[in-house]
Structure formats: C-alpha cells, structure tokens
Amino acid sequence: MPRTPVWKSIAETLSEEIAKGHYRPGDKLPTEAKLASRFGVNRHTVRHALSDLTERGITRSRRGAGVFVQSAPVEYPIGKRVRFHQNIRATGRLPDKNVLRIETRPCDATEAAALALSEGDEVLVYEGLSLSGGAPIAHFISIFPTVRTPGLRAAFEEISSVTEALKSIGIGDYIRAETRVSAERASTTQALHLNLRDGEPLLRTVSLNTTPDGTPIERGITWFAGERVTLTVTPDSVTPG
C-alpha cells in the first residue's frame, strides 16, 4: 500500500479536529510556525496541508490574517416538501439563485416517462446555480411540462424561487415523490460554476415533484458541491406536515 504523504496526514488530523469541533467555524487555526512545531515538520509541509484544506473548502485563507475554519456544510433536508429557499434560510444563510437558462424544448423519452408526457411534448427548462450566503452550492436543471404550468416561463423572468413562481401561476403546493442520489465528478463547466477543482465530488440528485394529487410538475437534476452540502433524510422530514 502506498505510504500517505506527511502533509496529507497533517491535513487529515486537522480536518478531523475541525469535524469534531476542536476548531469551530470562524476560528483561526494556529500559525504555520506553531503547526510546524506541533507536527515536527517544516513550514513548507504545513503550507501544503493547509492549502489542501482550503482547496477542499474546509478552511479559508485570508491574506495576512491567517487560515480560518469555514462554516459547516449546509444541511439540506430531503423530505416530503423540499424547498430550496426555506432549507437555506433555516441554516441562517441567505438563499439566492443565478439563472443560467430559461427555454422551452421537446422532452426526451426518459423525461417523458418521468413526467407522464409523450416524447417530444414541450417542457420548460430552468437551469441555474443555487447560492447560500453568496456562495454557489449547487447547479440545477429543472424541467416543467408547459401544458401543466402555463405562465411559468414569464414568472421565472421575475421570480427565481420555484415555490413562489409556481404559486404565482396557481400551484400552491407540491410534493417530493422521489429523490435518487448518486455521486459523480464535477465537469469542467460545473467546477467553474461551483468554484471547485475539476473532478471534485458532486452529490447528484434526480427528483420528481408532483401536485398533491400526484400529477408530475417538475423533474429536477441538481449537482450539490459534495463536501459543502449534506443531505439529511429522517422519517420525520418525509412525514406529511
């Protein structure tokens, strides 16, 4: 088995200490000199470990001020009602969206099956970035059957929240029927969008939202920055209410 490089095991030790709360979000880590002395290595090795933590989003380096612990990952409940703006607000951060694309096109066979449409039926495509406290945490592409969501395209020109846009066209409630979660590596484009390095791990969810009577209205694919977001599943979060 290959030997773990020293900088890597230092990075692991520090990230475990952060995970356990020995250093908390906002805390400044000890100086390079102090860490070098603690681990019995030179400052170059410490710098390597610290830049690894920063690249992984665990710490943030502020020039001249030191290295600080980043906020904990955003906890994102996957329940019966999944609402982006509400989920982010619940963490004390400001939710926002950057819209990348709003357009209509014919749906393909997979989308038709998911949305109970015929292949080639028109869908509205809404693509963008989800921000939490100004930082991008996810890239999403949602599609809506235009026949069931008249006026939604115009609504999205004004309103970035899916919940609010649907409400504005008379769809007051919707329910998460299914979420499928896998992991994949960020593409070059996604890495640029999400401030990640190429190939960083993403959590990919494919979701189906329906009206309360079970009519599909949205199929969404979302790629969450996998080390910044934790999806939580509890029986309670999926119980009606």
3-class state of residue 215 by DSSP: coil
Which among 88-96, 126-134, 148-156, 177-185 is the span making contact with a second copy, rule CB under 8 A?
177-185
Specify burial of residue 43 (Cβ count, 10 A radius: 0-12, 13-18, 19+). Answer: middle
Specify burial of residue 167 (Cβ count, 10 A radius: 0-12, 13-18, 19+). Answer: middle
40, 188, 213, 241: which one binds a second copy (CB under 8 A): 188
Which among 39-47, 89-97, 122-130, 223-231 is the span making contact with a second copy, rule CB under 8 A?
223-231
DSSP letters of 36-76? Answer: HHHHTS-HHHHHHHHHHHHHTTSEEEETTTEEEEPPPPEEE
Minimum Å gap between C-beta 158 and a second copy is 29
196, 203, 217, 220: which one binds a second copy (CB under 8 A): 203
32, 52, 200, 218: which one binds a second copy (CB under 8 A): 200
Minimum Å gap between C-beta 73 and a second copy is 7
Alpha-carbon distance values, 143 to 113, 123, 134, 202, 207 (Å): 13, 6, 25, 20, 11
Q: Are 223 and 202 in contact (CB under 8 A)?
A: yes
Residue 227 sits in the site that holds a second copy (CB under 8 A): yes
Which among 38-46, 71-79, 94-102, 133-141 is the span making contact with a second copy, rule CB under 8 A?
71-79
Residue 117 sits in the site that holds a second copy (CB under 8 A): no
Torsion angle defined by CA atoms of residues 184, 188, 191 and 193, in that order, rounded to the nearest 10 degrees: -120
Residue entry with tokens 């998460």:
176
Residue 78 sits in the site that holds a second copy (CB under 8 A): yes
Site string for a second copy, 131-170 (x = CB under 8 A): ----------------------------------------
Instruction: Give the residue from 11, 72, 59, 93 showing the smallest Cα distance to 229.
Output: 72
Residue 171 sits in the site that holds a second copy (CB under 8 A): no
Minimum Å gap between C-beta 135 and a second copy is 16
Which residues are near a second copy by CB under 8 A? Answer: 1-2, 4, 19-21, 73, 75, 78, 80, 108-110, 175-185, 188-189, 192, 199-203, 224, 226-227, 229-235, 238-239
